[in-house]
Chains A and B, each alone.
Chain A
């Protein structure tokens, strides 16, 4: 069995107290619990503070462009479904510049796990308002307060056909690592939004604020994560933010629909085509 330290490349240098430390720890713990071979794991990150994770985490890593985590992760997974592929984005990456990919990846249901690190601001660029910042949020980009409604990733995910939707909190790495583990075992696209305070730029949504505003669905025996209507109700009508597994359904993943069962991954295919077979195809151009 592998241990957390097998995935620890170097000590991170995020701001002291940043929520991402909790995510880093949870991710290592989940990888160890699943006994993932670091050489069979690809982590694709976007642009934002979370994007430094590849520098500290031992696995194959791809630090992609701002907002393009999911297309890259999808290309990797589809070409070699044997690999475990995990995407990580920030709220800017996932819900602002990369929103189109977010929705379509949910529809496509490729077997990848996607963590969205939500600190409700653009931290790396010094604290501007993000799509998850609340109405009237004051920042350097909206000094008179934001006048746009904040969006909810899990709500969007539910409306876009998400087959696994969960929310964790970086202040609770134990629950988070269990959710990541579950997400990675889920056959299909697994979204795990992680509420993660930025201690440097966001003085509103602090650890204390989150603790006051969250409640847990995990352990609530009345909550059934297979009930879509109920999940929608929880996400859209309650003031407090639900954590835990919000929704899950069994739905064939994209790879199972597009590839033949016995087919080798694309990357292991012989690139040469039998020339008689090619000749036959060429005959059709007549």
Chain B
């Protein structure tokens, strides 16, 4: 219960309307104010893949503790129309407050089960009446939220001015602030003081506020990525858009290619020439990249691909979240070749893992995939400042000109104990060699001799064994002695953590194994974890339980896994996990 004066530690605000209403902007400003007032933030975008007209909603969750996903309920609900109410009102929390601008919105009679307060709030009328334009309704809504949440008006003014002053000038800033004040005053008349959810204020100038896509882009820059080629696709384009601004400032280059085939092959050419090169995409683009992905494996060219998963198959739901591209990147493309697949669970890990990805790619001369998701790819999170002193650049067996000149008979694909050969770049003296998409010999020239084929295949594949010691190990969270084990990867990190806490409140002890490298599969660590669990649950955002299948093929000890699956296009809510585990007891 969020009675006035009661300490609020966690709150979710949903803003809902139609695409084109300015829901994203309103939500982002709200999230920014809360972040600057010291709250931990996690935002969740549930947008349609069109520009205008279809229902859209944005959840801003703030907590005093670190959070990594949306929660179970909505405490404050700002609806621009009635549609949103029908869809989401059952999520409104006990003591929650709901404001709606629907023409035909009727305040429902008080319910015995839930003490929700409802108000009609004529945003559109106020916007047109006072400013002559409907679009101002989002600023009026922001003003109302400012009053309800007792936010610092000066912080809000500063953010508005940051957003508009340079681009649109003083007049626009003034008008927007006027609209916010109007919303604030109107809310004062409608919302009773005891219905407010006053949030404690702190000062925060330290933490970051960014999306997973942005963290990856920034991490790539720090990791020395200077060549990026891609084709536009939701929800990965934010990585590109950030790099498009910054790479040229560092003598780097971003190329918009004609398709994903070109993007991946251009990255291959760039990396072969010696650049740290990357592309980003999502499932459909990944399907086109499968061709070049195999060439990277065959020709042992270090490349990094970021796949921000959206809902598939086919065009699917381009702006929604899912985890169904796991099989695509672990098994995808024809033939056998080594690849490494990493899965960050948080925005902080997006930064860390992308740097690791570049190092792994060059050390083991193979493609490295960073598999992320729309959820935290586009969702904004507060995050601790990244530790830049930890950024290391390791280029593996890349030869310098001095080293190469002293090699008597340079073989680009020389058989070595760990399978990794030394690498020379075109333009270097004494390094002439061939890069072959066909099977080839140690110098890179086409060779169809079966004995050579066997040795070359083993050479390439054993690099993974060497890499396995160097990978990011799975991480165990929760009490070690718990007998219920939960396994997941990627964005389920937040909901699983919260589910574990919910279970604990109900007397059920659970622990969580976060898979951070998906391939090569860390069988031993997973087997050890499973051995300590009486029951194992595998949580994933897909229909077929792709991680579950992977576990079954890679864990050598027999075990029973129960799948908790969500393929609704929405991220898990913690209760969807905890309730299912509770029921299975």
Binding site for B on A (CB under 8 A): 38-40, 42, 44, 47, 52, 54-55, 58-65, 67-68, 70-80, 82-83, 100-101, 103-104, 258-260, 263-264, 266-267, 269, 271-273, 275, 278-279, 281-282, 285-286
Contact = CB atoms under 8 A, between A and B. Distances in A.
Contacts of B208: 282, 285-286
A76 B270 contact: yes
A266 B210 contact: no
Given A76-B273, A279-B388, A104 B426 contact: no
B435 A75 contact: no
A52 to B, nearest CB: 8
Given A60-B434, A79-B277, A80-B274, 15 more contacts: A38-B432, A39-B429, A61-B435, A62-B269, A68-B265, A75-B229, A75-B270, A80-B426, A80-B427, A100-B258, A100-B261, A266-B270, A267-B273, A267-B275, A272-B224
B252 A266 contact: yes
Nearest to B428: A39
A260 to B, nearest CB: 7
A83 to B, nearest CB: 5
A62 B273 CA distance: 11
B270 A79 contact: yes
A68 B296 CA distance: 13
A269 B251 contact: yes
A79 B262 contact: no
Contact of B431 (A39, A73, A82, A282): A39
Going nearest first, the 3 A-B pairs with the smallest beta carbon separation are A75-B269, A271-B224, A71-B265
Contact of B427 (A83, A264, A266, A286): A83
- Interface size range of chain B in the complex: 35 or more
Contacts of B430: 39
B218 interface: yes
B385 interface: yes
Interface in B143-178: none
A285 B227 CA distance: 23
Contacts of A55: 434, 445-446
6 contacts: A74-B269, A79-B277, A266-B253, A271-B393, A273-B224, A282-B218
B388 A275 contact: yes
Interface of B: 35-36, 205, 207-210, 214, 218, 221-224, 226-227, 229, 246, 248, 250-253, 255, 257-259, 261-277, 291-292, 295, 385-386, 388-389, 393, 425-438, 444-446
Contacts of B207: 286
A3 to B, nearest CB: 17
A75 B273 contact: yes
A165 B511 CA distance: 66
A65 B265 contact: yes
Nearest to B224: A271
B210 A285 contact: yes
Given A263-B251, A267-B425, A273-B250, A75 B266 contact: yes
Contact of A75 (B268, B393, B431, B432): B268
Q: Which of B35, B214, B264, B430 has the most CB of A within 10 A?
A: B264
A89 B526 CA distance: 48
A129 B35 CA distance: 63
A62 B435 contact: yes
Contact of B386 (A54, A77, A259, A282): A282
A75 B229 CA distance: 9
Contact of A282 (B266, B385, B436): B385
B269 A71 contact: yes
B265 A72 contact: yes
Nearest to A82: B427
Nearest to B248: A258
B445 A104 contact: no
A28 B147 CA distance: 78
